[in-house]
A = this chain, B = another copy of it.
Amino acid sequence: MINPTAAMLVIGDEILSGRTQDTNTHHLAGELTAHGIDLLEVRVVPDDTGAIIAAVQYLAERHSHLFTSGGIGPTHDDITADAVAAAFGTPIGVRDDARALLVAHYAKSGGKLNKARLRMARIPEGASLIENPVSTAPGFSLKNVHVLAGVPMVFKAMLASLLPTLSGGTPLISQTLRLMWPEGTIAKPLAKLAAQFPEVSFGSYPFYDNGNYGTNIVGRSKEAAMLEAAMTKLEAKFPPETT
């Protein structure tokens, strides 16, 4: 079975200027891997309508799912919802069900549902809402594009609402072997092993620990038995040292 594929689009000047470290991609990547959806591409673009539209059109056409992060708050730089609607030529406006959520929220919290906040109820026609248990203002899915908040706590909560509704494939499983051998020594036998086990992909990540060079070898596969066999073979070739 071939897994569904996904792309991630991070929207925000604050990432590109170096003010903020994006952590949503890392969280999404782990969740998708466990769910059997293969994340194949990530892009970061500025708060620019043209850049967002171009990226949405390109990525949504090529993948089963596109996730976006950022740009859906109440301020003038929050242009994601309108840009995603424009990418599909879909009309957008304040929608009753989204407004009702905000009305109830501000009635409870004592805040005022002013015009700026009402922008958060702008939902493209035909989209379905994504629940936001943290701060109420919903995300939405328009076709295969899932529009989530940029604040990490809200992004995580929205993804937890959304992910169970998406069909997954076979989870990619991984095994890591921590070897106290330098990468250059392992490289040749590892390449040979990779050729013997085409169902397993191997990554090699060098580290330097307390004066010693070592390498983490990560095997990734959708076939547990193959992965087990490959990693066992690798471990036999490089027995753990007593360093």
Contact = CB atoms under 8 A, between A and B. Distances in A.
A10 B43 CA distance: 10
A73 B16 contact: no
A169 to B, nearest CB: 14
A160 interface: no
Contacts of A4: none
Interface string A144-185: 000000010000000000000000000010100000001111
A40 B16 contact: yes
Interface stretch (A90-98, A196-204, A234-242): A196-204
A114 B182 CA distance: 12
Interface in A18-47: 18-23, 25-33, 39-47
Given A75-B191, A218-B19, A117 B42 contact: no
Given A17-B30, A21-B26, A43-B43, 10 more contacts: A18-B33, A40-B46, A41-B43, A73-B206, A74-B187, A75-B191, A111-B182, A112-B184, A114-B185, A114-B188
A14 B190 CA distance: 17
How many chain copies?
A: 2
24 contacts: A15-B29, A16-B29, A16-B39, A16-B40, A17-B39, A17-B220, A18-B26, A18-B28, A18-B30, A18-B31, A41-B45, A41-B51, A42-B42, A47-B203, A74-B184, A74-B187, A111-B182, A111-B184, A112-B184, A114-B185, A115-B188, A117-B184, A117-B187, A151-B206
